[in-house]
Amino acid sequence: MSAPPRDTAPAQSAPDGPGPRGSTGATAEARTPAAGHGRGGRTAWLTAALGAAVAVFALLSVSIGAYEIPLGGIVDSLLHRVGLGGAALDRVGESVLWNVRLPRVVLALLVGASLGCAGALMQGVFGNPLAEPGVIGISMGAAVGAAGAIALGLDVLGNWTVTAFAFAAGLLTVLLVYALSRSDGRTEVVTLILTGIAVNAFAGALIGLAVFFADNAQLTQITFWQLGSLAQATWPKVLAVLPCALAGLAIAPCYARKLDLLALGERPARHLGVDVERLRMALILVVALLTAAAVAVAGVISFVGLLVPHLLRMAAGPGHRFLIPGSALGGALVLVAADLAARTAAQPAELPLGVLTALVGSPFFFWLLRRTRRGQGGWA
């Protein structure tokens, strides 16, 4: 008698078992209409709240600073610029609003949304709430590309040179980490984290070499990448990051359903028609696009992609249909608020934005590690 073929169980039975990614809870929720309806109402409320908070903090960030601009004056100036009435501010007010504040706030929105969305995708791809572009080295890898372009004085692509080098280095970094974390056809979480630590250390050494060989002007630029800041925001920089950010943010939600299936485990996802390797490669490219574009204009800003998706997952569940756009909104909110704090907390000085996010994000990461260890009964 011939041996029965492998994987002959019907696809419907796969999610019923206690899969490695919590499939039992997800399946139970799908079978309970009341729970699904309640979760849908919660996500709608959270989306509206996040959108309103982003708008409020954006207006506050435009208004507050060394030169105060009243909220009414901001609205009037915006209406005046688009031809819907209103009135222009005085000459100094118009210059501060349109040449300093608005480019900075728009850049913070784009960078924050990119980092938040990239974090949600990384956690979904690897099935690990500890995954984040900065944790596995992609942010530092992109910074190496930017620092190398600065130190070598490269200008082969004009204004796009640093962005292109950051994107290429970030892509190579994430592909390297992904390859090294694979074993027997699956991704090992512990290997992923440890590889990221090693890559971050190596990237830091490369940036140190760039600093050693750089002149004073280049040293200032490289220091900007290491600390992270939006102080040099201009409209050309906004236009440089805009295509990458919009492309990544538009593509990411298209993979929400497949990420939900992948959350059941690799084998059940394959039974349900998901090409796991192709999905991971596609999303890795999206993550590299989003993160490299953000790093190229703002430097290394860590923990946004870790903190925001995890908090939203705790509040509204693991469904990526909400988690991906919600993380983009949450990332934009966090970075606009953090930039406002960086500008005003130590006036007239300005705190480095990357330092501020790390000061807040590091304790959260430690708490998350402790919580994960207690939930799993150890690291084994």
pLDDT at 5: 42
For the range 257-260, what are the long-range contacts, defined as Cβ-Cβ under 8 Å and sequence gap of 24 or more? 257/320, 257/321, 259/121, 259/124, 259/125, 259/283, 259/320, 259/324, 260/26, 260/318, 260/319, 260/320, 260/321
End-to-end CA distance of the chain: 40
pLDDT at 249: 95
pLDDT, tens digit (0-9, with 9 covering 90-100), for 63-113: 998 889 998 899 989 998 888 887 888 889 899 999 999 999 999 999 999
Handedness of CA 76, 78, 79, 80 (dihedral sign): positive
Question: Would you say residue 30 has pLDDT above 50?
Answer: no
Of 2-11, 47-56, 326-335, the range with the lowest mean pLDDT is: 2-11
Residue pair 241/233 in contact (Cβ under 8 Å)? The answer is no
What the chain holds in terms of domains, given with CATH numbers, is 49-376 (1.10.3470.10)
Question: Would you say residue 28 has pLDDT above 70?
Answer: no
Confidence of residue 164 (pLDDT cuts 50, 70, 90): confident
The tokens for 132 are: 């984040």
Of 71-85, 163-177, 204-218, 248-262, the range with the lowest mean pLDDT is: 163-177
pLDDT, tens digit (0-9, with 9 covering 90-100), for 32-54: 344 455 566 788 899 999 999 99
Phi (first) and psi of residue 187, to 5 degrees:
-90, 125
3-state secondary structure of 23: helix
| Higher per-residue confidence, 265 vs 249 | 249
pLDDT at 185: 67
Beta strand segments in 244-368, E? none
Q: Pick from 377, 308, 336, 330: which is nearest to 129 by CA?
A: 308
| Percent composition of the chain: helix, strand, coil (DSSP 3-state, to 5) | 75, 0, 25
Enter the pTM of the model.
0.82
